[in-house]
Copies of this chain bind each other. A is one copy, B any other.
């Protein structure tokens, strides 16, 4: 489902990538567009993966939820597959997956 913004983001990136390459030397600030190329792709988050992630971080659902600024109830639903993290939630989860709970402290 996250197909539109995914593709149009990639489109924007690829389109501008050529430009940037052509320009050669460029300002760090405008280079933001290029940075998007380096965005770590977000993978699906299965219930198992979420629970594994949380237990890896040795956190209860309540504490884990506090870190992510969501309700404990939601974490439970994620882990039971009742609700599926998406958008910002998914990003946050994969961020924790990659860098650990500390980064979101």
Contacts and interface: CB of A to CB of B under 8 A. Distances in A.
Interface of A: 2, 4-5, 8-9, 12-13, 29-30, 32-33, 35-36, 38-40, 42, 57-60, 62-63, 65-72, 74, 85, 87-92, 95, 99, 101, 103-105
Q: How many copies does the complex hold?
A: 2
Contact of A95 (B12, B35, B62, B104): B104
A13 B29 CA distance: 41
A87 B89 contact: yes
Contacts of A99: 103
A35 B101 CA distance: 10
A105 B39 contact: yes
A17 to B, nearest CB: 13
A12 B71 CA distance: 13
A12 B69 contact: no
